[in-house]
Structure 1
Amino acid sequence: MPIYNKLVRDLIPKIIEADGKTCVTHTLNDSQYIAEINNKMHEELAEYEEATNSEDAVEELSDLLELIHAAAAYHGVTIEELEAVRAEKAKARGGFNERIYLVEVADD
């Protein structure tokens, strides 16, 4: 029996059981949960970086977005509130659309 020891999506145990298998799970406490969200974000980011085509990249981005939703809820904000923070930062500092790569800043 493979051992996973990782955070999974809510329906994964039911999917496993529907396949005629059994699984062992438990519910994480708050500190375990946010630690595992962070671990899963690193895992999904690595998978995004390894994607070799746009379809796979979008799949991994959707996983990251789901984790961002979970992390936002953990921190007590809605996605709309998170989006408002993002929009305010973009208004004040810009986004990343112009692909600007800062090389150096001279001290005058």
Structure 2
Amino acid sequence: MSYPKLVRDRIPAIIAEEGRQCRTTTLSEPDFRVALLAKLVEEAEEVQTALDDELLTELADVLEVFDTILTAHQLTMAQVRQVQELRRQTRGGFDKCIQLEWVEY
């Protein structure tokens, strides 16, 4: 099976331990950043379809990718939290469970 996708560091070793073979490449920094963003979407889709007993694991995977994106872009969680709070103050959070149905133009 062929598919280029970003995987966790130990995945090639796990594949080898199972008696299978794989081929890997090491991405350049720009390609790694692009792959990380694609991986974030992949993991978010897995959260969306997760069953209740899978949700925690899938959220942990999203957080792992998120943390790696921060590192790759030399950002900190403190910076993200600061912007999050500003956006919460100006646009609100999601506490009221509001779904927008339509907007008239």
Scaled to the shorter chain, the TM-score interval is 0.7 to 0.9
| 1:47-101 deviation per Cα after TM superposition (whole angstroms, max 9, x unaligned) | 22222x2222222222112111111222210223222221222233221121122
- Per the alignment, do residues 83 and 10 of structure 1 end up closer, same or farther by CA in structure 2, a change over 3 Å counting? farther
Within a 5 Å distance, the mapping from 1:1-108 to structure 2 comes to 2-51=1-50, 53-104=51-102
Q: Normalising by the residue count of structure 2, what TM-score does the alignment of the two structures yield?
A: 0.79
Considering Cα pairs closer than 8 Å and 6+ residues apart, tell me whether 1 or 2 has the greater RCO: 2
Task: Name the amino acid aligned to 1:47.
Answer: E
1:4 is displaced (CA, Å) by 3.0
SS in 1 for 2:97: coil
Q: Where in structure 2 are there 5+ consecutive unaligned residues?
A: none
Q: Normalising by the residue count of structure 1, what TM-score does the alignment of the two structures yield?
A: 0.77
Partner Cα distance (1:84, 1:11) in 2: 33
Partner Cα distance (1:77, 1:42) in 2: 19
**Identical-residue share of aligned pairs (%):** 33
Partner Cα distance (1:59, 1:98) in 2: 26
Root mean square deviation, CA, Å: 2.2
Partner Cα distance (2:12, 2:67) in 1: 21
Partner Cα distance (1:27, 1:83) in 2: 31
Q: Where in structure 1 are there 5+ consecutive unaligned residues?
A: none
